[in-house]
Amino acid sequence: MRLPGVEMVRALVVAVGLAALVSGCGADDPSRPGSPRTARTPLEGAPFPYAETAEDVGVSSDAVWLFKERLYSRMVARHLVGAEILVIVDGQIVLHQAMGWADREGLVPMERNSIFRLASMTKPLAGTATLMLAEEGRVGLDEPVSRYLDSFENGSSGDITVRHLLTHRSGFVQGDDPPGFADQPSLVDAVYLAGEQGPTYEPGERIIYSDLNSEALGAVVATVTGMPVERFLERRILAPLGLADTHTAFSPEAVWADRVPSSYRSWGGSWERWWNPSRPHETPWFSPAGDLFGSAFDYARFLQSWMDRGKFADGRLLEDATVEQALADPVAADTLPTRARWYGMQWEIYSRPQADGELPAFGHRGETGTLGMAIPGRNAIVIYLTNSNETEVVEEVIDAALEMFGS
């Protein structure tokens, strides 16, 4: 199901008495009974300033209004349980709102600045860590993975390169974990089994999205640096960027645990809670494919550093050329028709650059229904975080964001 069109959404909103167009980011939005949503007034302590109006940063208030109402209509229709949406343009917030429920059973509304299970939004950080080591000459992108992980030194895994892992061209298949994979005492031990088992398809033959690629990257990082990949992420990415609300492990006793919403899956059209923050995290080791917990503000900072070609306030993560390479189409343009979307080095690409020298629109979504998205042509960031697993809404948010910014 796709989001309603412009006229349909306007008719829906008029019918419930919200015909007046809301402009500016300071206006409040009334909630419908049983469908809570927060005010859009500035949130105290926000790390980004608020634009006085959307027009101040070159965006139509009409377009912002429509974007949030389309999402809210999905929540009212129970296509998701709860969500938080953040839109930043030129470093200023034009939309920040939470809607629905953090805990539907306890009738706890979703709040802004919650901390979500980011799932596969973790993958770009694993890719960033690998690229940082490549810049330092400690990892070679076109070197065989067997140079770093002994179990890949065999007939089936021996041709897999680090670049294959980054671009999901290793031949590993999603869900084809070797027996005992998740029960191993460490990530490196688990990936050892994957190397022994080998990929399903010939390396380099095709793009096949698989968590095993990101997990193998994490094992390479761990082996090269002599520290678990999560420690590397904390020291070299999270701490320098000031991402204090991004965490590599969860415990119900954590001081931030009360900011984490319950997680829901849809079964036969109804939502069922499958995890709540009174339970510990499930795996014995951190998965660089999807185990981060984080906030909308933190992920926006991470995206901004990439959109600024690796730079941030006190330094830089990566060089310009590395960022451009990571987001470029890995398949030569002369071998296939021009395409709008592809998968770069642990990044999803959503549209081609709008002008020469620009970066494409990029980001990543997660199994928990989440999305972090950057649109460099408009210096815009869209963060959509939800506790509603694997709905089609996330694809609609991508399309609506590209439409809002003309990408």
**Secondary structure of the chain: what % helix, strand, coil (to 5)?**
35, 20, 50
Report yes or no: 160 and 152 within 8 Å, Cβ to Cβ: yes
Report yes or no: 335 and 353 within 8 Å, Cβ to Cβ: no
Supply 82's token pair: 């709860």
Report yes or no: 32 and 97 within 8 Å, Cβ to Cβ: no
Q: What is the DSSP track for 190-259?
A: HHHHHHHH--SS-TTS-----HHHHHHHHHHHHHHHTS-HHHHHIIIIIHHHT-TT-BS---TTSTTGGG
Closest CA to 171 of 212, 217, 133: 212
Cα angle: 230, vertex 47, 45; to 5 degrees: 110
- The pLDDT tens digits for 345-363 are 999 999 998 888 999 999 9
- Rg (Cα) of the chain, in Å, rounded? 21
Please tell me the predicted confidence (pLDDT) of residue 21.
Answer: 35
Q: How far is CA 249 from the centre of its chain?
A: 17
b/e code 24-48 from CB counts within 10 Å (16+ = b): bbeeebebeeebbbbbbeebeeeeb
Place of tokens 């901390």: 115
Neighbours of 232 (CB within 10 A): 24
Closest CA to 216 of 237, 250, 189: 189
Q: What is the DSSP track for 43-91?
A: PTT-SSPBPSSGGGGT--HHHHHHHHHHHHHHHHTTS-SEEEEEEEETT
Domains and CATH numbers, the chain: 1-49+62-80+94-112 (no CATH), 114-370+402-407 (3.40.710.10)
How many Å apart are CA 394 and CA 396, to the nearest integer?
A: 5
Tell me the mean pLDDT per 10 residues along the chain, length 407.
Answer: 42 38 53 93 96 96 95 94 98 98 97 97 98 98 98 98 98 96 97 98 95 98 98 98 97 97 90 93 90 98 97 94 95 65 95 91 95 97 94 92 89
Helices (H) and strands (E) in the chain, counts: 11, 14
Please tell me the predicted confidence (pLDDT) of residue 280.
Answer: 85
- Residue 180's Cβ-count burial label (10 Å; 0-12, 13-18, 19+) is exposed
* First CA to last CA distance, the chain: 22
How many Å apart are CA 73 and CA 313, to the nearest integer?
A: 38
Q: How far is CA 245 from CA 137, 316, 335, in A?
A: 31, 20, 43
Supply 151's token pair: 């179990």
Residue type, 369: G
Neighbours of 258 (CB within 10 A): 12
pTM (predicted TM-score) = 0.92
